[in-house]
Copies of this chain bind each other. A is one copy, B any other.
Amino acid sequence: MLDLESLFNLSYPMCIICSKKGNRFAGCIVNAVFQIVPEPPMVTVSLNKESLTHDYITDSGIFTVSILAEGTTLEFIGRFGFKSSRDIDKFEQVEYKTGQNGAPIVFDNVVSFLEAKVVETIDVETHTLFIGKITACETIDDSKIPMTYTYYRDVKGGRAPRTAATYIKRKQNRKKELKR
């Protein structure tokens, strides 16, 4: 049996991943990001090959991850999640700073961030796994609660684009939603 909706029970953080190419910035929503080694601290992230952020990371070998808080609006998430940096400047009217590695770190609606340097890339079908050494990480606002992908989906009613690592076509009636 392959009931893909059962995979919704895995937990993910809601984040914005950013990178740069020359003096241009790109960023998008990502949830498939996690720490894989404690010492030296390392993370991995899965990104769709179609995204501009993917190209920029491949080019510069660096990225940042800004972890979103529960209060983040769907509008803000939509700006980074459902639009392409090819079409709009996502950082216009968004509070951000440039990290030590040169990529932007989003400060609006963010609990904490990390900066990383890519040490390995793995080609996996439609996506690439970037493995990165964490070069900096810091909490911005400890009073905020990090948003999980479950919270985004079930409490805020958010959706995922087809390019997302965890995209699953939903059934019409989902019991899980009634429960929460």
Contacts and interface: CB of A to CB of B under 8 A. Distances in A.
Interface of A: 1-7, 9-13, 15, 32-42, 44, 46, 67, 111-114, 120, 122, 124-127, 129, 131, 134-139, 142-143, 146, 148-150, 162, 164-168, 175-176, 179
A129 B67 contact: no
Contacts of A175: 142
B1 A127 contact: no
B165 A37 contact: yes
Given A44-B44, A131-B122, A167-B38, A33 B4 contact: no
A98 B90 CA distance: 49
Contacts of A165: 34-38
Given A36-B124, A36-B129, 14 more contacts: A1-B137, A2-B136, A6-B139, A9-B67, A32-B34, A32-B36, A37-B46, A37-B125, A37-B126, A38-B162, A38-B165, A38-B167, A142-B176, A143-B179
Given A36-B46, A46-B36, A120-B124, A11 B168 contact: no
Top 7 nearest A-B pairs by Cβ distance?
Answer: A36-B46, A6-B112, A11-B13, A38-B167, A6-B139, A9-B146, A11-B148
A173 to B, nearest CB: 12
17 contacts: A1-B136, A2-B134, A2-B137, A7-B112, A7-B134, A10-B15, A10-B34, A11-B12, A11-B148, A32-B36, A37-B124, A38-B164, A38-B167, A42-B124, A120-B122, A120-B124, A122-B131
A40 B167 CA distance: 11
Contacts of A148: 11, 148
B131 A124 contact: yes
A162 B120 CA distance: 24
